[in-house]
Every structure is written in structure tokens, then in C-alpha cells.
């Protein structure tokens, strides 16, 4: 019989969202009249921008004619899209990033996992706690960790706890770490990193020969002009950071699928024989071998994000969600609940009142207000005592949920 990748058996059962579903279903069955509002989703709710739809419709028509039909595109993505991204997302912010360093993909989630293909198996890996679970689980699958411990952490990973006490920014480690996952603006905490904080990480990475894996999926939600959108706004980051970006949250592409990864040509890693090897050709080889590119139609839709209309329409989408976030923050604060995030990110990170556990607060909110959110403890042990509320929803749902909380909730 074939053997399996035993690392998969180390994975904790996907616990968080099934458990939320179980509790919500049980409540709904017992109270069929309850109108439950879900503010727990990490998915967008508003339709695709008109400019993106128009570009994709035109691309579909091109595919229907022999002269304009497209077969396989470049594995790295079409140059016209990579050049727009380089100019608008990076060079316009003073980042020295060239189109040839940008790889188009069908998602940041897969890129975050796939990037491990080009790294060795003996690296020391650090993640924040709480954390986006993809970073952890992909390292478990790749055999980079030991078994899971009682507290839900994996042996061999370094967890950097983030909480209100450190403004949800991880302290720079004292030990040597090779790969560091950072996500700003952060899912789940909604926190952002100042220029100084990112500079401290870049300086650390340059001093230790580390690589920062920087997830900027929510950069478009930054409203504060002093907060960097890209790690490459920090001097030296070209020599120590890979950045992941996605059209999922800024342009509503969660179901359309387009993202990008930046691998600067100046990045290097050490080979077994001690020589220094560039990472860019490795990722290029990895993508060319295992990936055949994103559809022409979808890349045309992504390109439209950079047109005048596309920029205005994506800005309006983001403003819509950020107004939801403002309503959530203000109403919860008025209800006497301490909130964080939600200013430069579509997530509000709630401190559970009266020392309630994340799950006790979940149950109370469900039973008293019929509102569903996400228990912070589901994102890591240090998320205990916190709760995530998402701004991805209709205005009517957000307003109704907040009205119920201000009227009915008492901790």
C-alpha cells in the first residue's frame, strides 16, 4: 500500500468554522424565529466593479474570435498587467520594484503555501499569535514542525504573541529566525504596522539573513497616510522580503481569483554547499513547472482595477466597507465594549467584556442579539479574550446588528 504524507495527520482538525456552524445551527433550530446576522465572514459581499466586469466581458469576446483567441499565457502573468502593478502599486509609492519581479497567480492563499517549495526544511519559522492559519498549516504539511501541543501550538514553530499590550505588533525576536510571516493590515486583529516597526523588522532580517514573508492582502484599506502599504517602502526590504498581494479584498475577486507575489531579484538564500543562490529564478522555475498562469479573462479584469474608472470603483467599494467598520467601532464603543482595529482594516478586534472567554462572548452575542462573529481564540492561544467582527457585509445587516448590541447586550 502507498504511504501518505504523515505531516497531514499532525494538523488539528479544522475546528473554528465547523464549531461556529454547529453552535449557530443548534441555536437556529431551537429558535426558528430568530433572524441571525453573520458578522463572522472573511469574504467580501459587494459585487465586482463595473470596470472589471466590462473588461472581462470584452476578453471573453476576444476568446471567441480566431484572430484574438489566446491559449496558454506566460506562467508569470501577462507583462501588461505586471507593468501596471509595478507602476501603480509600487513605483508610485517610491518602491524599487520592476515588473519582472512580479508573478501573477490565482490567489495569495496558495502563494503563501507554495512559496515554501523554494526554501529548505531546516529554517526556523516565526508566526504571530493570533495568526492567519494558512501560514501555520502549510508549514505543518511541509514537515517543518513537530506535533501539536495541548495549547494548540506546534512544536518547532516560534509564536510571537500580539495583544493590546504591544499594540498588536510582534516584538522583534531575540533569537535568530529565518522565515518570518507578517500580515499588515492584519487579519484577524485589524492592526497596522508603522514605518518604524517595519524598519525594525527589515533591519533584523538584514542582520540575520532572514526572509520576511509579507502579506499585504489588505493594503488598500489603509487610510492613514503615514502607514506603509508595501514592505518595499522600507529601505533594504528588497534584500529581505517577499510580498503577497491579492485582488480578493480590494476589488472583490475572492470568487474571480487573481493575486500577485513579488520576489525581488536581489533576494538570496544559502545552498547546501554554502553558496548563495538567488530566490527569483527558483520561484520562476517553481511557477513555470507547477502552474500554467491565470486566465487571460481574469487578468484583463484585474488590469481594469488600474484604469481611472476601476480606481474610483474599487475606492468606493473600500470606502463602503470602511464605513461599516466605522459604524461597528462606534456602536460597540457606545455599548461600553473596547475595540481595536477597524480604522485601516476591515476587521474590528473586540476585547471581550468582563473577562468573558472568546467562546462565552460568542454564545452570549448569539443568544442575546442573534449576532455571529469569530472567537479570537480560534486564531491562536493569544487570541483568547478577543473576538473578530468583519466589516464585509451589507449596510443594513451591520446597522441591525449594532442596534441589537447597543439595545440588548450587557456583559
**Rounded CA separation 216/243 (Å):** 7
Q: Residue 364 or residue 388: which is nearer to ligand PLP going by CB?
A: 388
Least distance CB 211 / ligand PLP (angstroms)? 17
Q: Are 95 and 233 contacting, i.e. CB atoms less than 8 angstroms apart? A: yes
Q: Residue 109 or residue 144: which is nearer to ligand PLP going by CB?
A: 109
In this chain, which of 7, 42, 209, 236 binds ligand PLP, going by CB under 6 A?
Answer: 42
In this chain, which of 84, 109, 144, 280 binds ligand PLP, going by CB under 6 A?
Answer: 109
Alpha carbons within 13 angstroms on the beta-carbon side of residue 303 total 20
How many residues lie near ligand PLP (CB under 6 A)? 14
Q: Residue 153 or residue 215: which is nearer to ligand PLP going by CB?
A: 215
Cite the DSSP H helix spans in 342-389.
Answer: 358-364
In this chain, which of 76, 145, 246, 299 binds ligand PLP, going by CB under 6 A?
Answer: 246
Q: Residue 81 or residue 217: which is nearer to ligand PLP going by CB?
A: 217
Stretch that binds ligand PLP, among 165-173, 248-256, 268-276, 372-380 (CB under 6 A): 248-256
Three cell numbers, residue 274: 554554502
Q: Does 217 bind ligand PLP (CB under 6 A)?
A: yes
Q: Does 189 bind ligand PLP (CB under 6 A)?
A: no
Q: Does 187 bind ligand PLP (CB under 6 A)?
A: yes
Q: Does 302 bind ligand PLP (CB under 6 A)?
A: no
Q: Does 128 bind ligand PLP (CB under 6 A)?
A: no
In this chain, which of 239, 254, 284, 357 binds ligand PLP, going by CB under 6 A?
Answer: 254
Q: Are 264 and 275 contacting, i.e. CB atoms less than 8 angstroms apart? A: no
Which among 328, 308, 128 has a CA at the least distance from the CA of 214?
A: 128
Q: Does 107 bind ligand PLP (CB under 6 A)?
A: yes
Neighbour-count burial of 407, counting CB atoms closer than 10 A to its CB (0-12 exposed, 13-18 middle, 19+ buried): exposed
Whether residue 188 is preceded by a cis peptide bond, meaning omega within 30 degrees of 0, is: yes
Q: Are 135 and 112 contacting, i.e. CB atoms less than 8 angstroms apart? A: yes
Three cell numbers, residue 359: 467562546
Beta strands in 235-360 (DSSP E): 241-246, 259-262, 268-270, 276-278, 339-341, 347-351
Q: Residue 318 or residue 369: which is nearer to ligand PLP going by CB?
A: 318
Q: Does 182 bind ligand PLP (CB under 6 A)?
A: no
Least distance CB 150 / ligand PLP (angstroms)? 26
Least distance CB 50 / ligand PLP (angstroms)? 21
Least distance CB 322 / ligand PLP (angstroms)? 16
In this chain, which of 162, 177, 183, 365 binds ligand PLP, going by CB under 6 A?
Answer: 183
**Rounded CA separation 50/314 (Å):** 10
Q: Does 108 bind ligand PLP (CB under 6 A)?
A: yes
Least distance CB 44 / ligand PLP (angstroms)? 9
Which single residue is written with the C-alpha cell 474590528? 348
First to last CA, the chain: 56
Secondary structure element (H or E) that encloses residue 104, with its range: strand 102-105
Query: What number of other Cβ atoms are within 10 A of residue 341's Cβ?
Result: 26
Q: Does 249 bind ligand PLP (CB under 6 A)?
A: yes
**Rounded CA separation 257/235 (Å):** 31
Stretch that binds ligand PLP, among 30-38, 82-90, 103-111, 278-286 (CB under 6 A): 103-111
Angle at 86 between CA 305 and CA 253, to 5 degrees: 30
In this chain, which of 90, 103, 132, 340 binds ligand PLP, going by CB under 6 A?
Answer: 132
Q: Does 388 bind ligand PLP (CB under 6 A)?
A: no
> Helices 296-303 and 50-63 meet at what angle, rounded to 10?
150
**Rounded CA separation 300/61 (Å):** 12
**Rounded CA separation 40/52 (Å):** 27
Number of residue whose CB is nearest ligand PLP: 107
Q: Residue 42 or residue 269: which is nearer to ligand PLP going by CB?
A: 42
In this chain, which of 75, 178, 215, 219 binds ligand PLP, going by CB under 6 A?
Answer: 215
Q: Which residues bind ligand PLP (CB under 6 A)?
A: 42, 107-109, 132, 183, 187, 215, 217, 246, 248-249, 254, 259
Amino acid at each position: 500500500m502507498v504511504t501518505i504524507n504523515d505531516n497531514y495527520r499532525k494538523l488539528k482538525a479544522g475546528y473554528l468554522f465547523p464549531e461556529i456552524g454547529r453552535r449557530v445551527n443548534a441555536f437556529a433550530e431551537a429558535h426558528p424565529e430568530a433572524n441571525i446576522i453573520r458578522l463572522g465572514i472573511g469574504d467580501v459581499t459587494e459585487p465586482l466593479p463595473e470596470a472589471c466586469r466590462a473588461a472581462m466581458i470584452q476578453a471573453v469576446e476576444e476568446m471567441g474570435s480566431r484572430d484574438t483567441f489566446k491559449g496558454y499565457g506566460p506562467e508569470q502573468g501577462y507583462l501588461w498587467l505586471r507593468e501596471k502593478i509595478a507602476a501603480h502599486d509600487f513605483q508610485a509609492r517610491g518602491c524599487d520594484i520592476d515588473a519582472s519581479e512580479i508573478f501573477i497567480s490565482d490567489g495569495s492563499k496558495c502563494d503563501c503555501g507554495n512559496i515554501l517549495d523554494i526554501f529548505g526544511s531546516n529554517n526556523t519559522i516565526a508566526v504571530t499569535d493570533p495568526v492567519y492559519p494558512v501560514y501555520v498549516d502549510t508549514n505543518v504539511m511541509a514537515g517543518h514542525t513537530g506535533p501539536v501541543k495541548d495549547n494548540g501550538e506546534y512544536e518547532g514553530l516560534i509564536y510571537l504573541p500580539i495583544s493590546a499590550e504591544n499594540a498588536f505588533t510582534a516584538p522583534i525576536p531575540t533569537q535568530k529566525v529565518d522565515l518570518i510571516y507578517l500580515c499588515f493590515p492584519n487579519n484577524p486583529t485589524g492592526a497596522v504596522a508603522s514605518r518604524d516597526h517595519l524598519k525594525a523588522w527589515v533591519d533584523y532580517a538584514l542582520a540575520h539573513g532572514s526572509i520576511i514573508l509579507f502579506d499585504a492582502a489588505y493594503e488598500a484599506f489603509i487610510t492613514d497616510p503615514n502607514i506603509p502599504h508595501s514592505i518595499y517602502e522600507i529601505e533594504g526590504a528588497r534584500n529581505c522580503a517577499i510580498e503577497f498581494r491579492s485582488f480578493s479584498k480590494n476589488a472583490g475577486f475572492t470568487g474571480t481569483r487573481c493575486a500577485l507575489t513579488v520576489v525581488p531579484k536581489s533576494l538570496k538564500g544559502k545552498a547546501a554547499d554554502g553558496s548563495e543562490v538567488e530566490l527569483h529564478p527558483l520561484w520562476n522555475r517553481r511557477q513555470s513547472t507547477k502552474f500554467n498562469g491565470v486566465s487571460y479573462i481574469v487578468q484583463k479584469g484585474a488590469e481594469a482595477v488600474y484604469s481611472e474608472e476601476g480606481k474610483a470603483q474599487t475606492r468606493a467599494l473600500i470606502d463602503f466597507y470602511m464605513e461599516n467598520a466605522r459604524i461597528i467601532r462606534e456602536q460597540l464603543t457606545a455599548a461600553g465594549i473596547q475595540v481595536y482595529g477597524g480604522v485601516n482594516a476591515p476587521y474590528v478586534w473586540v476585547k471581550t467584556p468582563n473577562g468573558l472567554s472568546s467562546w462565552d462572548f460568542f454564545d452570549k452575542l448569539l443568544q442575546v442579539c442573534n449576532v455571529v462573529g469569530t472567537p479570537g481564540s480560534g486564531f491562536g492561544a493569544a487570541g483568547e479574550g478577543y473576538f473578530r467582527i468583519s466589516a464585509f457585509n451589507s449596510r443594513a445587516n451591520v446597522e441591525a446588528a449594532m442596534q441589537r448590541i447597543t439595545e440588548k447586550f450587557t456583559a
